[in-house]
Structure 1
Amino acid sequence: MQLIYGFHPVTNAIKSGRAKKIILAQGDKRMTSMNTSSLAVDYWQKPRFDAKFPSANHQFCAAECSSLVFQDLASIADQTPSNISNTSTKTNKKARPPIYLALDGITDPQNMGACIRSAVAFSCSGLILAANNSAELNAACVKSSAGMIEHLPLIKVSNLERSLHQLQDQGFWLVAAAGQGEQTINDIDCQRPLVLLMGSEGKGLGRLLIQRSDYVCRINISAAVDSLNVSTACAVMLHHIRLQQTA
């Protein structure tokens, strides 16, 4: 079970079916418009929230939820170019190429949550995480994502470099975001299934991951700024990819 806090995380957990019990402050009526008849409801005095979630913006709202579910890498097979082409032909509608976000070395839960929020905002098909080098998807991460973690397929892999190689074999192109990149995202063809690879602001991406990538792209920023926070860089990259795909 996972205990989360914050109004948007709780309401999204209710919508996704992950919430099992709602915890509200005495007299709180904010959930009356939602279908919560099947959920247990507990009421706390407000000081109890401050004691349970010190220094957190809990908004006097919490929920006990089932654990997050992780998918297998094989689930991405449904997003391979051949399957996308077949789906487009049947519906007579051109499908937008999928984007998966892969994060390496993001160990701060707030940064992880903000990246997840951006991934949902730009309709990513899923999030790929290294099992041994990633922030815990805890309550702080869920809060930072504004509950958007409930709407993003999660894939955890034991070896990120090997898994990315496997996706390349399936027809995905790997785009690494790095300051040393010789191209920008606008210099490459984004009309294809992509995996966007982001590293931590401090260490960046490892050498093997950069070598594995089909493209290494930078973001053009002012010389007065050393780098962008990873969640900001993630949003910028995804925005430019989607702009190109919808042009």
Structure 2
Amino acid sequence: MRTLYGVNPVRELLRAGGDVPAELWLTSGERSRALSELAEAARARGAKVREAPRDKLDRLAGTDRHQGVVAVVSDYRYRELDELLEAARAAGAPPLLVVLDGIEDPQNLGAVIRSAHALGAHGVVIPKDRAAGVTPAAAKASAGAVEHCPVARVTNLAQALERLKEAGVWTVATDAAAEESIAEVDLTVPTALVIGSEGGGVRPLVRRTCDRVARIPMQGKVGSLNASASAAIALYEVLRQRGRAKNPAAPRA
């Protein structure tokens, strides 16, 4: 079992129609409209709604940033890589995935998942080792997007990229030192954006496995962006290109 905390993550869990919380814990004496709605929705789905002092919720969540609500739910179910590709085919759109190479900060992972869901990606791929997983902190940072954006966890990232290439997906790594701008890469085709870790970027083996390597153009004095910012900008470029492909007569931004 795992815990999920925060108003938005718990709300999205209940909206998604997936796992039913075994228990929903609310801080005793706190009854905002948002918490009352969560309690009603949880009861409607058969969850036990309980109240406890704030310090008990602190212990359940492992943090005091739970906003007065903690859900106890079954362990997060990671998807298989092929499930993400099937979801894209079912949507009738060219696959768009985000592959993360060793993101260790759960806040960054959650932010990437949030951007991926908001900007139309069909899923996120992470490695099993030396990387953040879908923890309660990551779920909180995603504002509940983990309940809508599937995450696949793979043993070998380079092999996963080869599998994507076999499935007709072009793999594009982001690197601040690349000669090619991401705006020069055709992202209207099936695409997997590969984003490197906070410190080391995309590892050499993973970089060599990718079809293309592109940079995000910057004008400021800071040499690089963090992983979640890079992912959001790259995803928006995909959205921009695919939008223009559907409507070639649209004016340029």
Q: Find the partner of 2:132 among 135, 143, 156.
A: 135
Residue correspondence of structure 1 range 88-237 to structure 2 within 5 A: 95-237=92-234
**How has the CA–CA distance of structure 1 residues 102 and 56 changed in structure 2, closer, same or farther, with 3 Å as cutoff?**
farther
Give 1:96's aligned amino acid. Answer: A
Counterpart CA distance in 2 for 1:159 and 1:32 is 41
**CA shift at 1:182, angstroms?**
1.3
Q: 1:56 to 1:235 in 2, by over 3 A?
A: farther
**Tell me, which stretches of 5 or more residues in structure 1 are unaligned?**
89-94
Which of residues 67, 78, 85 in structure 2 aligns to 1:59? 67
Q: What displacement does 1:186 show?
A: 1.2
CA RMSD after TM alignment: 2.0
CA change 1:228–1:165 in 2 (3 A) is: same
Structure 2: stretches of 5+ with no match in the other structure: 245-253
- TM-score normalised to the size of structure 2? 0.86
> 2:250 corresponds to which residue?
none
Query: Within 1, Cα distance between the matches of 2:49 and 2:134?
Result: 24
Match of residue 25 from structure 1? 27
The equivalent position to 2:243 in structure 1, one of 235, 242, 246, is 246
* Secondary structure, aligned partner of 2:188: coil
* Residue 79 (structure 1) shift: 6.2
Q: 2:190, 2:163 → 1: CA distance?
A: 14
Poorly superposed stretches of 4+, deviation over 3 Å: 50-56
Cα distance between partner residues in 2 of 1:124 and 1:151: 11
What secondary structure, in the 3-state scheme, does the structure 1 residue paired with 2:41 have?
coil
Aligned-pair identity (%): 31
Contact 1:25 1:61 survives alignment (8 Å): yes
Distance 2:116 2:48 in 1: 31
Deviation at residue 39 of structure 1 after TM alignment: 1.0
Counterpart pick for 2:41 among 8, 23, 34: 34
Paired with 2:65 and 2:80, the residues of 1 have a C-alpha distance of: 33
Aligned length: 236
Distance apart, 1:64 and its partner CA: 0.3
